[in-house]
């Protein structure tokens, strides 16, 4: 995939402290992708960071539901919601990007999940599937029609972003070397099957001109 082109954007999803080592919602081995993500950002003509940005009492937190434990579920007006440990709370260290992530290479940042009553996995829509984050409008205004997705976690925020991007008509690729998963009860296998079935492409960093010494 040629990510030096202006019509292609690298979408870097939620590489934040709370999803990395020692974080409140640690994705196993999440830190290990930062070097690869940085290399891709150095090459990309356009790179967008997404950032979970929750209020302290967000409805997706188990602590907001009496008697509920983290990783249990509840029903929201928009459907079944996994309840998470408190994470990525606005203006906290956990919400900050990983300190080694070269944020200065990004051309745009999208914050999501800041509405108390709606969680947001996708870079494009909140979990009600209708409230936009503004990313599609941003990319469309710049005539971007192809995206490469990387980040955390493969089976949640990366997966939902990929599926929304496909539905919006983008050509979508995933560099799995720059992703890591939570894998709750087979969620990774299910997500991968859906993404490939939906038309997403698997791309290795070795196939991207300019990255990994190419």
**Catalytic (active-site) positions:** 14, 112, 157
Q: What is the dihedral of CA 132, 102, 162, 80, to 10 degrees?
A: -60
Q: Are 9 and 48 in contact (CB under 8 A)?
A: yes
Cα separations in angstroms, 152 against 13, 83, 181, 213, 214: 6, 17, 7, 24, 25
* Residue among 127, 118, 172 nearest 149 (CA): 172
Rounded Cα–Cα distance for residues 111 and 162 (Å): 17
- Give the DSSP letter string of 136-199: HHHHHHTT--EEEEEEE-IIIIIHHHHHHHHHTT-EEEEEEEEEE---STTHHHHHHHHHHHHT
């Amino acid at each position: 995939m040629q990510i030096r082109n202006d019509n292609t954007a690298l979408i870097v999803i939620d590489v934040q402290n709370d999803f990395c080592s020692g974080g409140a919602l640690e994705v196993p081995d999440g830190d290990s992708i930062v070097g690869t993500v940085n290399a891709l950002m150095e090459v990309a003509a356009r790179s967008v960071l997404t950032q979970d940005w929750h209020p302290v009492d967000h409805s997706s937190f188990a602590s907001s539901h009496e008697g509920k434990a983290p990783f249990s579920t509840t029903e929201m007006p928009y459907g079944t919601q996994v309840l998470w440990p408190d994470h990525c709370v606005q203006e906290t260290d956990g919400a900050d990007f990983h300190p080694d992530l070269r944020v200065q290479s990004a051309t745009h940042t999208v914050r999501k999940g800041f509405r108390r009553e709606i969680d947001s996995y996708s870079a494009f829509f909140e979990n009600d599937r209708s409230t936009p984050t503004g990313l599609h409008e941003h990319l469309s205004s710049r005539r971007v029609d192809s995206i490469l997705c990387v980040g955390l976690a493969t089976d949640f925020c990366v997966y939902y972003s990929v599926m929304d991007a496909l539905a919006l008509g983008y050509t979508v690729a995933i560099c799995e070397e720059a992703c890591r998963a939570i894998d709750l009860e087979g969620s990774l296998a299910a997500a991968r099957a859906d993404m490939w079935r939906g038309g997403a492409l698997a791309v290795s960093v070795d196939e991207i001109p300019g990255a990994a010494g190419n």
